[in-house]
């Protein structure tokens, strides 16, 4: 017989404190902290390439708006359309929970496409190769937020680090897949930082982008095997929705890596851009 006392009992309040009619939640704090830290890292990277500060600030604005909208709509359309189609007013209530990383990824792609056309006049791949380096760190913060919300955890386990999510009424230990994903994303972040600072990867358009897609979504695909389905309709599927949505990113990432390796380096002269702008 399995002794439940051998496992971790998790009953953390997702709310830190109330501020009038609003509440400050761990998820929101971690989400915002991840973005701020990600911005700091991206700013340092882009400044090392002498990129215009206005580009950096506008890029951050585009990304944060696109991530929230994309992640929310991803959850609405990929996971909860049956509910939200009947309760459309709930779509705007992001504070009630419900963000999908695949939707966030699509949102960022769209935002950077627009930003490349309106602001930088460069290929969006140039921005993606740089922005997605700290994005892996932001994703790790978001998964820790899911842990604080006692959500998106795994199936039952007898492993000693299994967690009993008491706030959800669980009586058996489950895989803390939020922690698994957070650790995987931190590893991806380390690999991306190494490639950016220690190799010529940033001069091979699409290499960092492809590496991000392959590593991030491969880890997501694997961990989904021990994760509980988020929606009832997934129970009859060979692969769950998260896995099906991960496959195109993995395949596209593989293509980008192969293409980038075959092509010659491309170095942007940002100092030359500054000189042209001042004339």
pTM for the model:
0.81
Task: Return the structure tokens found at 118.
Answer: 């309106």
Q: Decide: helix, strand or coil at residue 55.
A: helix
Residue of 1, 30, 2 whose CA lies nearest to 14: 30
Buried b (16+ CB within 10 A) or exposed e, 120-150: beeebbbbbbbbbbbbbbbbbbbbbbbbbbb
DSSP conformation class of 231: S
Three-state DSSP state, 175: coil
- Rounded-to-integer distance, Cα 115 and Cα 123, Å: 10
What's the CA gap between 215 and 190, in Å, rounded? 11
Each residue of 244-255: pLDDT tens digit? 989 999 999 999
Residue 115 DSSP SS3? helix
Question: Are the C-beta atoms of 80 and 35 separated by less than 8 Å?
Answer: no
CB 262 within 8 A of CB 210: no
Q: Per-residue pLDDT for the chain (279 aa), expressed as one digit of tens each?
A: 455 557 899 999 998 887 776 778 888 889 889 989 998 999 999 999 988 888 888 888 888 888 888 888 887 887 777 778 887 777 776 666 666 766 877 888 888 888 888 887 888 898 889 988 998 999 999 899 999 999 889 999 999 999 999 998 999 999 999 999 999 999 999 999 999 999 999 999 999 999 999 999 999 999 999 998 776 677 777 888 889 989 999 999 999 999 999 998 888 766 544 444 444
């Amino acid at each position: 017989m399995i002794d439940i006392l051998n496992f971790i009992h998790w009953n953390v309040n997702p709310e830190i404190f109330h501020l009038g009619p609003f509440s400050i939640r761990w998820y929101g704090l971690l989400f915002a902290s991840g973005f701020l830290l990600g911005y700091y890292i991206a700013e340092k990277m882009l400044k090392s390439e002498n990129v215009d500060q206005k580009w950096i600030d506008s890029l951050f604005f585009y990304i944060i708006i696109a991530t929230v909208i994309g992640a929310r709509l991803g959850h609405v359309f990929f996971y909860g359309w049956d509910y939200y189609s009947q309760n459309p007013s709930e779509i705007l209530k992001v504070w009630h929970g419900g963000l999908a990383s695949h939707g966030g990824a699509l949102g960022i792609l769209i935002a950077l496409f627009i930003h490349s056309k309106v602001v930088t006049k460069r290929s969006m791949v140039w921005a993606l190769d740089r922005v997605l380096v700290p994005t892996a760190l932001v994703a790790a913060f978001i998964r820790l937020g899911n842990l604080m919300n006692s959500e998106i955890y795994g199936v039952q386990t007898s492993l000693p680090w299994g967690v009993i999510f008491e706030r959800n009424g669980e009586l058996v230990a489950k895989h803390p897949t939020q922690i698994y994903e957070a650790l995987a994303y931190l590893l991806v972040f380390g690999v991306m930082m190494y490639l950016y600072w220690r190799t010529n990867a940033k001069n091979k358009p699409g290499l960092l982008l492809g590496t991000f897609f392959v590593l991030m979504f491969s880890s997501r695909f694997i961990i989904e095997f021990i994760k509980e389905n988020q929606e009832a309709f997934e129970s009859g599927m060979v692969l769950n929705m998260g896995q099906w949505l991960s496959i195109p990113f993995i395949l596209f990432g593989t293509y980008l890596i192969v293409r980038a390796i075959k092509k010659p380096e491309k170095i942007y002269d940002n100092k030359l851009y500054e000189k042209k702008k001042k004339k």
